Amino acid sequence: MMSDHTYHIRHDTHYAYSQAVRLSHQMLRLTPRSLPWQTCTSHGISITPEPQNLRMFLDSFGNPLQSFSLENDHTDLRALAESWVTLSPRQLPPATPPWEQGRAALSYQAGQFLLPDDLEATRYLFESAHVRIKREFLAYAAESFTPGLPLLAGINALMTRIFQEFTFDPLATTVSTPVTEVFATRRGVCQDFAHFMLSCLRSLGLAARYVSGYLLTEPPPGQPRLIGADASHAWVSVYCPGFNGQASSWIDADPTNGIFPDTSHITLGWGRDFLDVSPLRGVLIGGGQQTMDVAVTVLPAHEAPGFGFAV
């Protein structure tokens, strides 16, 4: 039997402002979700300067959310999150329905009531700020989702094509690059590939959500692991309705790496696209020009320095 995998995650975000910020309201989504295969055993967030009106709650997607205010003048903001997370191996469903059945389960029909899981999935059917429903995305996806193909096989085919045909290029896009441009250039980062795959899936009529988290990365052979060199990661999750006595489920797929996430993918949260799960987002008065530095380190437990903050 495979053992569990425990990791230490450190996510350090620092904003520097050219002028004093007089008032700042911020939201943090840096707390890993509790899931059947994922347990967050320890978690803490350190915020500098010391915030006011600190609140913890769940957002509309069930993600842990921390909101706070800074009401005194400041020229720096730092949020340091540290977590210990244990993952268990995940199993893909042994069988999935034809992909057309997955689409039909969520389609509207007069007089038909959707099951609760199906109803929840419908919120991931539509366009959102970074995900588009367009004919060109439908045409691209249709090459992978051939008639009668099981849903899991279609997801695998589309994920693999994106992995093979798109180039990872951190300089090709920004957070505001439209998904149509990503499709045209076939270049981008994990966020772009996730938004593109979501656009393909939703253009087909399938429900799919954006997943934000972390990925354990391995250094080159013989080289030490670089502290702070990792980054947040993104992938997609596709809804699979109940089939042949199986309960409904969500199937995660990572088009950046061409794999189905397992014990190296740590889930922070999910939503319709990146905007729903942005790690730090808010509004402020003042500040002038700003710069942001983010350092993320994911370490296996045996390499981690121990509990507590090292600020």
Structural domain of 34:
5-88+278-303
Residues 198 and 232 in one domain: yes
In a domain, 309, yes or no: no
C-beta neighbour count of 285 within 10 angstroms: 10
- Angle, vertex CA 258, rays to CA 254 and CA 260, nearest 5: 55
In a domain, 93, yes or no: no
Give the pair of three-digit tokens for residue 77.
């903001």
Residues 224 and 241 in one domain: yes
Give the pair of three-digit tokens for residue 286.
């003042």
Give me the percent of the chain exceeding a pLDDT of 70: 94
More confident position, 10 or 116: 10
Contact 197, 158 (CB under 8 A): yes
Sign, CA dihedral 185-218-153-209, equals negative
Give the pair of three-digit tokens for residue 214.
């972390």
CATH number at residue 238: 3.10.620.30
Residue-level pLDDT at 1 = 33
In a domain, 308, yes or no: no
Residues 140 and 28 in one domain: no
Beta-carbon contacts of 141 under 8 Å, excluding residues fewer than 6 positions away, are: 158, 200, 201, 203, 204
Tens of pLDDT along 294-303? 999 999 988 8
pLDDT band at 112 (very low <50, low <70, confident <90, very high): low
**How many Å apart are CA 182 and CA 171, to the nearest integer?**
12
pLDDT band at 225 (very low <50, low <70, confident <90, very high): confident
Residues 296 and 256 in one domain: no
In a domain, 311, yes or no: no
Alpha carbon 51 to its chain centroid, in Å, reads 26
Phi, psi of 19 (to 5 degrees): -130, 160
Residues 162 and 105 in one domain: yes
Residue-level pLDDT at 113 = 72
In a domain, 94, yes or no: no
Residues 258 and 292 in one domain: no
Residues 211 and 257 in one domain: yes
**How many Å apart are CA 273 and CA 275, to the nearest integer?**
6
* Residue 90, pLDDT above cutoff 60: yes
Beta bridge partner(s), residue 266: 214
Contact 149, 103 (CB under 8 A): no
Tens of pLDDT along 45-89? 999 999 999 999 999 999 999 999 999 999 999 999 999 999 999
Alpha carbon 53 to its chain centroid, in Å, reads 27
Q: DSSP string of 127-159?
A: -BTTB---HHHHHHHHTTS-TT-BHHHHHHHHH
- Our CA dihedral for 49, 55, 57, 59, rounded to 10 degrees, sits at -60
Residues 271 and 131 in one domain: yes
Residue-level pLDDT at 231 = 82
Residues 259 and 146 in one domain: yes
**How many Å apart are CA 196 and CA 204, to the nearest integer?**
13
Residues 111 and 233 in one domain: yes
153: closest CA among 203, 107, 200, 93?
93
Tens of pLDDT along 144-178? 999 999 999 999 999 999 999 999 999 999 988 99
* Residue 99, pLDDT above cutoff 70: yes
As for how many domains the chain has, the answer is 2
Q: DSSP string of 260-274?
A: ---TTEEEEEEESSG
Residue-level pLDDT at 307 = 43
Residue-level pLDDT at 308 = 45
Residues 136 and 266 in one domain: yes
Residue-level pLDDT at 311 = 35
Sign, CA dihedral 264-64-59-179, equals negative
Contact 114, 163 (CB under 8 A): no
